[in-house]
Amino acid sequence: MGDLTTPPPPDPATFRVAPAAPKAVPVRDPVGAAWRLMGWGSVLARHDALIPREITPLLPAWVRPIAAFVHLFAGREGREGRPGQRLGKAFEHLGPVAIKLGQVLATRADIFGGEFATDLGRLKDKLAPFPTDQARREIERSLGRPVDSLFLDFGDPIGAASLAQAHPAWLADGRKVAVKILRPGVERRVARGLDSMRLAARLVHRFVPVARRLEPDAFVETIARSMELELDMRLEAAAASEMKDIMDKAASEDGAHMTAPGVVWDGVGKRVLTLEWANGMPMTDPQCIEQPGLDKDALADNVVRAFLSQALDYGAFHADLHEGNLFASAPAELTAVDFGIVGRLGPGERRYLAEILWGFLQRDYPRIARVHFEAGYVPPNHSVEAFAQALRAVGEPVIGKQASQVSMGRLLGQLFEITALFDMHLRPELILLQKTMVSVEGVARRLNPDHDLWAAARPVVERWILRELGPRAQIRDGVRELISGARALSRLVQDPPRPETVVIQKYGTPAWLVVCISVATSASLAALLLSIWSIIHR
Ligand SMILES: Nc1ncnc2c1ncn2[C@@H]1O[C@H](COP(=O)(O)OP(=O)(O)O)[C@@H](O)[C@H]1O
Ligand SMILES: [Mg+2]
């Protein structure tokens, strides 16, 4: 193994900056939206989540009487629990769009604080199921064929959430499958909810200048986009199939981490998704960890490594990894379901993530700081040294603690909080990743309370650094450039553009050919020298 401690500084060209915010969409039915918004307001007031009493003392004097008035409407629900818990309850009450809003807000511990985000994250997306007969009708309408032509048997619902519910069924070839069906009329409910949210964003933008920094319009459109995706089961089928490919590839390369059930494409339509039945026992079942031969430590390692390998090696990760979506079987097999949210990281974010995890593993704070500046995440008017100092404040309290007390996800969360102080704008995918990491760690810790997350993560991060930034990668990149230079050269020599031959006859070797050959040769030589130079200087 090469020297891993001092890979060359990252190339800014491989990082991406945040994309343009989504465009605002007009409110379709302002009167209906306003009416529903008042309904939302009354539910929030009942839960004391509109202007929570806890923040009243912090408000300007002129707002306090308004807050006091709103508090008159607080019901029994508004008297119990912390603000995040009350808001979560109110959102559960308000349906799918509010639930989604809550889930997204819960990922922003950097803005709202850790406790609030955690409380809001407990929001439950469980609803009474709709009847099986209606589910059969929905399938027939979506797939355009009778349920009996597809399934030998079709069972009662096993889980129901605000957007969809799942049923067990059996195919003609005897395979057991899970069929997920969108709730009847849920698209209309979502469209109306989004309309109200758009109006709310407009109002906030107009009347709450301090909130403009949070770009309420763009925020609502991000939610709208993510819900549109979740309301098309064909897209979830595609995500399931892609993630299965990735998981199987990762497993074949470095041992079994996690897998996913196969998609039954005959049973996929806009409103219906059919997946093979997941292997193993649901991890929500208390009997699951009692299975004979189950290796809880290996299972805990697997969930962490699978997640990290998906994110770092493939740039696409299952972003909803909790026990409700995981199945386990002996000795340490994991199967994931529910591909409604897939997080995606571009090459730049993958590199950023690997670099910071590696930096923390090595306690190399100046290096982590440099990565932030070179990526353009932190504006150059800040000092690298001051940033490195802030990073040390995050990292050092953690180092030396017992492994069981160290949370990688929370460390990243604190890092993101600190980066906000340095005007750093993070891509939402990184925040989604951090949130998922907290969830993954929760799963690992519940399997083994002493689980060492860093030790579990190290091989994946180390492998990535070695592969992408180590000496071999340097040589590989140098050789690649050499080859592409040589190819360009040989193309030019073998097939010079025809009309120019006339010029050759007249003037000998034309200037353009000389220039091209010189450029290609110097580029190849420079690439080779650079790669050798950086290896020598390690
Ligand atoms: N392929 C499957 N095999 C077995 N059970 C499944 C499968 N897919 C879903 N389920 C069950 O149905 C529940 C709901 O499905 P899920 O895809 O997680 O939907 P939701 O988005 O509502 O959480 C899961 O928690 C799981 O218990
Ligand atoms: Mg689920």
> Which numbered ligand comes closest to the C-alpha of 324?
1
Q: Pick the residue with more confidence: 68 or 418?
A: 68
Least trusted range by pLDDT, from 224-233, 486-495, 522-531 = 522-531
| DSSP assignment letter at 399 | T
Distance 159 CA to ligand 2 centre (A): 9
Could you tell me if 220 and 201 are in contact, meaning their C-beta atoms sit under 8 angstroms apart? yes
User: Ligand 1 pocket, 278 CB below 6 A?
Assistant: yes
Which residues have C-beta within 8 Å of that of residue 180, sequence separation ≥ 6?
Answer: 164, 165, 166, 167, 233, 236, 272, 273, 274, 275
Model confidence at 418: pLDDT above 90: no
- Active-site choice (110, 313, 320, 452): 320
Region at 378 (left for phi over 0; alpha for psi -120 to 50; beta for the rest): beta
- Distance (Å) of CA 51 to CA 62, 63, 101, 312: 14, 10, 17, 41
- Distance (Å) of CA 533 to CA 467, 474, 477, 523: 18, 10, 13, 15
Nearest to 332 by CA among 448, 207, 472: 448
Atom of ligand 1 nearest to the CA of 275: 1
> Which numbered ligand comes closest to the C-alpha of 158?
1
Model confidence at 478: pLDDT above 70: no
Model confidence at 116: pLDDT above 50: yes
For residue 436, what are the β-bridge partners?
A: none
Element (H or E) spanning 228, and its range? helix 216-230
User: What is the four-CA torsion angle of 302, 308, 310, 314, rounded to 10 degrees?
Assistant: -140
User: Ligand 1 pocket, 180 CB below 6 A?
Assistant: yes
pTM of the model: 0.77
Q: State the average pLDDT over residues 391-419.
A: 79
| DSSP assignment letter at 293 | T
The reported pLDDT for the residue numbered 19 is 46
Reported as a single tens digit per residue, the pLDDT across 152-189 is 999 999 989 999 999 999 999 999 999 999 999 999 99
* pLDDT band with cut points at 50, 70 and 90 for residue 60: confident
Element (H or E) spanning 236, and its range? helix 233-254
Q: Pick the residue with more confidence: 337 or 109?
A: 337
Q: Whose CA is nearest to atom 6 of ligand 1?
A: 178
Q: Is 320 in the active site?
A: yes
Model confidence at 315: pLDDT above 70: yes
Model confidence at 5: pLDDT above 70: no
User: Ligand 1 pocket, 336 CB below 6 A?
Assistant: no
What secondary structure does DSSP assign to 361-374, as a single string? Answer: HHT-HHHHHHHHHH
Least trusted range by pLDDT, from 36-45, 71-80, 202-211 = 202-211
Atom of ligand 1 nearest to the CA of 324: 25
Model confidence at 318: pLDDT above 50: yes
Q: Which two tokens stand for residue 113?
A: 């604080």
Q: Whose CA is nearest to atom 13 of ligand 1?
A: 159
Q: What is the mean pLDDT of the chain?
A: 83
The reported pLDDT for the residue numbered 475 is 66
Model confidence at 203: pLDDT above 60: yes
d(CA 183, CA 231): 10
Range list of β-strands (E), 204-353: 272-276, 281-282, 316-318, 326-329, 333-336, 342-344
The reported pLDDT for the residue numbered 216 is 84
Distance of CA 236 to the CA centre of its chain: 15
d(CA 161, CA 303): 24
Q: Where are the domains of the chain?
A: 30-123
Q: What 3-state class would DSSP assign to 377?
A: coil
d(CA 507, CA 115): 77
Sign for the CA dihedral angle at 404, 410, 414, 415 comes to positive
User: Ligand 1 pocket, 277 CB below 6 A?
Assistant: yes
Could you tell me if 179 and 233 are in contact, meaning their C-beta atoms sit under 8 angstroms apart? no
* pLDDT band with cut points at 50, 70 and 90 for residue 127: confident
